[in-house]
């Protein structure tokens, strides 16, 4: 599976590997392509060339969730904010389909799940087109030897600076405190200002008014583990 630019043989760009994987045992490699309008396969996303307003058929603010998981968050947010369009990016074939099912079950037309790798976002999003970035419980890659896999680093903040419109926001919730500490360090000299940070949103509440729990967040709550939140705004 494609990982990061520069660390993989496909460093030149994200390749829709579903074609070369056909025939393998994962049934979702084929079925995700036939799901329906709630699910955009990687090659369709590339063909879109960043014209997401064309896909939704209107010019509404675009909210982007990276690592949509089971789709619970995006489906609920799309219901809560029908005036906005929602794209959930997810790499894993089965999760892409599970998330698209959540969107379909929610009965919303303003949300879609895209199979893509978040390290190649620049291939399918134009600069200054994202009104809101949502990254919740990204994998911790907690061992220092795995740190290069983490999404929150200087390269990604630079990419986010390009994609998010001035005045646009970035929300992250996580139970892995180093993600928040790193983002605080990186935000300082960046085009993002820190609006708020919470070290435990169960006790302190979320910084934003429209809080919606993600699947991993629920697991943390049930296990009594604190979830941190950080809210940024693009200057």
Ligand X SMILES: C[S@@+](CC[C@H](N)C(=O)[O-])C[C@H]1O[C@@H](n2cnc3c(N)ncnc32)[C@H](O)[C@@H]1O
Name the residues that contact ligand X, by CB under 6 A: 67, 69, 89-92, 95, 117-119, 136-139, 214-217
Please tell me which residue in 17, 139, 153, 181 is annotated as part of the active site.
139
Q: In the complex, what is the shortest distance from the CB of residue 146 to ligand X, in angstroms, rounded to a whole number?
A: 12
* Residue 219, token pair as written in the block: 């697991």
Shortest reach from residue 47's CB to ligand X, in Å:
19
Is 200 in the active site? no
Q: In three state form, how does the secondary structure of the chain look?
A: CCCCCCCCCCCCCCCCCHHHHCCCCCCHHHHHHHCCCCEECHHHHHHHCCCHHHHHCCCCCEEEEECCCCCHHHHHHHHHCCCCEEEEEECCHHHHHHHHHHHHHHCCCCEEEEECCHHHHHHCCCCCCEEEEEEECCCCCCCHHHHHHCCCCHHHHHHHHHHEEEEEEEEEEECCHHHHHHHHHHHCCCCEEEEEEECCHHHHCCCCCCCCCCHHHHHHHHCCCCCEEEEEEEC
Tell me the closest approach of the beta carbon of residue 124 to ligand X, in angstroms: 12
Nearer to ligand X, 143 or 166 (CB): 143
Nearer to ligand X, 89 or 232 (CB): 89
Least distance from C-beta 119 to ligand X, angstroms? 5
List, by residue number, the catalytic residues. 139
């Amino acid at each position: 599976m494609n990982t990061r630019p520069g660390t993989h043989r496909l460093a030149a760009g994200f390749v829709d590997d579903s074609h070369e994987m056909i025939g393998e045992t994962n049934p979702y490699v084929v079925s995700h392509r036939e799901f329906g309008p709630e699910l955009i396969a990687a090659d369709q996303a590339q063909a879109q060339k960043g014209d997401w307003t064309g896909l939704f058929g209107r010019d509404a603010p675009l909210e982007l969730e990276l690592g949509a998981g089971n789709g619970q968050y995006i489906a609920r947010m799309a219901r809560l904010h029908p005036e906005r369009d929602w794209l959930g990016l997810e790499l894993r074939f089965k999760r892409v389909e599970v998330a698209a099912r959540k969107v379909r079950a929610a009965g919303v037309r303003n949300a879609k799940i895209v199979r893509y790798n978040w390290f190649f976002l620049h291939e399918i999003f134009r600069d200054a087109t994202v009104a809101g970035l949502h990254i919740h419980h990204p994998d911790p890659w907690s061992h220092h030897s795995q740190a290069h896999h983490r999404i929150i680093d200087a390269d990604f903040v630079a990419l986010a600076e390009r994609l998010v419109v001035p005045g646009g926001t970035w929300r992250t919730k996580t139970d892995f405190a180093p993600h928040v500490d790193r983002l605080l360090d990186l935000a300082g000299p960046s085009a993002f200002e820190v609006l708020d940070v919470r070290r435990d949103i169960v006790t302190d509440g979320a910084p934003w008014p429209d809080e919606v729990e993600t699947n991993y967040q629920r697991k943390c709550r049930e296990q009594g583990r604190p979830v941190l939140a950080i809210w940024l705004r693009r200057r």
